[in-house]
Each structure stands twice: as C-alpha cells, then as structure tokens.
Amino acid sequence: MKDWLEREEPFVPSPKRENPFLARTLRGLRAATEPPASSPSGRSQAFLTALHPRAKLLATLGILVAVGLTGDTGRLLLPGLWTAAHVAALPRAPRRRVLALGAGALGFSLFLLLPLPFLGQTGAMLRFLGKEAVTVPLVAALGASSRRHQLQRELRTLGVPADLVFALDLTLRALHLLAREGAALIEALFLRRLAPSLSWRPLGGWVGVLFLRTLEMERRTQETLTCRGFTGTPPPLPRRPLEAEDWLYLACAFALLAVLALGRTP
C-alpha cells in the first residue's frame, strides 16, 4: 500500500471558506456537553457527579418547590440570580457565550408566548418565563450528572409512581439524544461549508431531520435494551450513606426553601 494511503491526514478547514456562525455554535455545543475538567464548569460537573443521587434528587425537588412558592417578583429575581451566578463562575470567553445563549433562549420563549398578552395573560407569561429559567437548567444538570438507572432507583425508593418514573426517564433520554444529534448535524454543516439560512423552509427541514434522527436513535436504543433482557426495572445498586458534601448540598437547597416559605407568611 502506498505511504500516502496509510498516513492519516487531519482535516483543516480553509480560513477563507470557514463559516464563523457554525464554528461558534459547534464550539459552544462542545463546551457545554464536554467541559474541560480544569474549567469551573468542569469542576462543578465533577462535584455534582460525585454527590449521592438521593441528595441531588431531594435538593432538586426542594428547589422546584421553592420556585413554586415565590411570588411574581421572586420569579423574576430568582432567574436573574441564577444566571448571574453561572456567568460569574465562568471565564471571560464562555461568559459571552452564556449570555448569547441565554438571550437566544429568552427570545425563543417570548416568541412562544406572544399570544398571551393579547389574551390578557401577561402575568402567566412572566410566571412561565421565571419558572422556565430555573427549572430547565436544574433538571438538565440533574440528568447530566446522574445515571438514569440511579435516578429511577431513587425515585422508586421515594415512592414515585412507575408511570411518572418512566416519563421522566424518557424525557431525559430524548433530551440527551437531541443534544447529541444536534451537535452531529451542526458539525456536518460545518465540514461541508454550508452557510446557515434563516428562512423557514431550511430551518424547518433541519428541525425535522433532527427529530427524525432522534426518534430513530430512541427506537434502536429500546430494541437493544429489549434484546438484552431489560424489563424496565433498574438493576440494584450498592447502598452507601450520605456524606458531608451531600448533607451540605441538601442544607443549601432546603435553606432556600425555608426562606421563601417564611417570606410568604403574613
């Protein structure tokens, strides 16, 4: 075999034809899904992964209840504090990326809620935006730092119905597949130098292909689990007691819940 066939040459995009939008989006997805271990995001991810699944689950439920107890002012203040804490913990370069992604998510949420002011439901729109800004990143962090069978086991230990456990597992698995397939599609566009189009037809086709590929991956995953004899019951895990970090995490979450509950008392 010729030497030039055996030698692997890395692909280097041409600077003249490189698409800045796709390059920034691809770097953002890689940084969000695979943060470096030395970065603040990577250290926080490692800390959450090391916590006990029950501690993370109870803390998440406590924070979700706290979000529900806040008033209209608190629902706007709590997402702001949440975003400020994430921005302050990141270095300068990812900080701009986080703000840009947050602005894009806020604009998309406002687009979905445009009919509400015309129906006299402005308060409902503000409440939805406030809850969404906290609950979606919180549940995403819980799913990213915990294995699905660990969450299933802890939820069933707490007495959660099996249908609700299955719905949560299906949602987390679909979100994971959406993120992975979306990154793969954007990387394919980046390698082919296709300029992004903001018209409705290409955007609708991209979203449609993304969901079709996600459904196909979900079907293959379910068939693989069925062929291997998975009946829907998570395997037993070795029990271990809660450690000091777990109790500290729980104390912070329930302290927030207590403060918000006392603030609502007349």
**Range scoring the smallest mean pLDDT among 76-90, 128-142, 217-231:** 76-90
First to last CA, the chain: 83
Q: How far is CA 117 from the centre of its chain?
A: 28
> Whole domain around residue 181: which residue ranges?
38-93+118-234+242-264
**Range scoring the smallest mean pLDDT among 12-21, 22-31, 161-170, 203-212:** 12-21
Query: Which residues make Cβ contacts (< 8 Å) with residue 41, sequence separation at least 6?
Result: 31, 35, 89, 90, 94
pTM for the model: 0.41
Which of 157, 150, 187, 188 is closest to 172 using CA atoms?
Answer: 150
Q: How many domains does the chain have?
A: 1
Residue 12 lies in a domain: no
Distance, in Å, from the CA atom of 144 to the CA atom of 248, rounded to the nearest integer, reads: 20
Residue 207 lies in a domain: yes
Residue 132 lies in a domain: yes
Buried-exposed string 72-95: b where 16+ CB fall within 10 A, e elsewhere: eebbeebbeebbeebeeebeeebe
